[in-house]
Amino acid sequence: MARFELTISRHIARFFARRAKWGAEHYITATGAILVSTIIIMAIFAPWIAPYDPIRPVGDPLTPPCREYIFGTDSIGRDVFSRIVYGSRIALQIMILAAMMSLAVGLPLGLISGYVGGPLDRALSLIMDSLYAFPGLILAIAIAYALGPGVINISASIAVIYIPTYFRMIRAEVLSVRESLYVEAAKGLGADTKTILFKYVLPNVLPSVPVVFSLNAADAILTEAGLSFLGLGLPAPTPDWGFDLRSGYLYMPAGYWWIATFSGLMIVLSTLGFSLLGEGINEILNPRLER
């Protein structure tokens, strides 16, 4: 789902690559970093940034953006801006939790599967490929439905979607590293499998992780928003961008645009931010745009 953002960012990158003094990857990373840090700051300092309590009505319902309520109020009279700000906390929590859970399962499995090979590898690859074949959101829906609401459950259901991604990527890297001369040299020195895995394979496989992590995070936000949109996310009145998008969406035909728009915008910006950050870091670590 974040693939669309990926393509955009690549085109933007190429545009800048031709005229930038700095490498384009620096612009991409910088933009991404700014967006991401804004959201992080928003999350950490929410109580100070948000003017109102996000879960209680504070004004007349459906007030358009004005000086008192910068982003207006929603159908119950809660301040949209405050909800957006607090929503970042939820978004970040779930996203980081989901990404970390995926990593915690996908990385070791990919590492072992890639290095050991054989029937274990074939079995795991088969499982992972099947999982990967599922459309992400559908899978998340199924698991979320089974597990029920709650931050950890939601994170878990999202995490499952990305385990195959980590698995495949790490496994691919391990397969190539496994054949490299320095691993053979390590065997020649007398190193055992454990040492080789941790000192020779893992450090060379790890650099590809931050990028996938970042892109993963981007996708996770979208998925989470999707789940909330479908009503499988966190229960009301938790401030959640997807939820607000959902509720605000119903009011759009009537002309009350601010609820859906701002929450939607936040989803886009956060996804874009993480995508750009991921792409940028990728370019810096593995330069491709320029020789």
Judged by the rule CB under 8 A, the positions of this chain that interact with another protein are 23, 180-182, 184-191, 195, 199-200, 203-204, 287, 290-291
Residue number with CB closer to another protein (4 or 182): 182
The β-bridge partners of 223 are none
The β-bridge partners of 79 are 73
- Secondary structure (H, E, C), 180-238: CHHHHHHHHHCCCHHHHHHHHHHHHHHHHHHHHHHHHHHHHHHHHHHHHHCCCCCCCCC
Residue number with CB closer to another protein (130 or 180): 180
| Among 228, 232, 233, CA closest to 245 | 228
Residue number with CB closer to another protein (195 or 261): 195
**Shortest distance in whole angstroms from residue 166 CB to another protein:** 19
Residue number with CB closer to another protein (7 or 180): 180
Residue number with CB closer to another protein (146 or 189): 189
Three-state DSSP at 72 gives coil
Classify residue 190 as left (phi > 0), alpha (psi -120 to 50) or beta: left
Gap between the Cα atoms of 101 and 168, Å rounded: 16
**Shortest distance in whole angstroms from residue 13 CB to another protein:** 14
- The pair of three-digit structure tokens given for residue 57, joined into one six-digit string: 């009505």
Residue number with CB closer to another protein (95 or 177): 177
Three-state DSSP at 283 gives helix
**Shortest distance in whole angstroms from residue 10 CB to another protein:** 18
Do the beta carbons of residue 24 and residue 283 sit within 8 Å?
Answer: yes
**Shortest distance in whole angstroms from residue 284 CB to another protein:** 10
Residue number with CB closer to another protein (29 or 155): 29
The residue type of 6 is L
- Residues 6+ away with beta carbon under 8 Å from 40: 88, 92
**Shortest distance in whole angstroms from residue 191 CB to another protein:** 5
Do the beta carbons of residue 213 and residue 107 sit within 8 Å?
Answer: no
**Shortest distance in whole angstroms from residue 187 CB to another protein:** 6
**Shortest distance in whole angstroms from residue 24 CB to another protein:** 11
The β-bridge partners of 73 are 79
Residue number with CB closer to another protein (47 or 203): 203
- The pair of three-digit structure tokens given for residue 170, joined into one six-digit string: 């790490």
Question: What does 133-174 look like in DSSP terms, one character per residue?
Answer: HS-HHHHHHHHHHHH-SSHHHHHHHHHHHHHHHHHHHHHHHH
**Shortest distance in whole angstroms from residue 23 CB to another protein:** 6
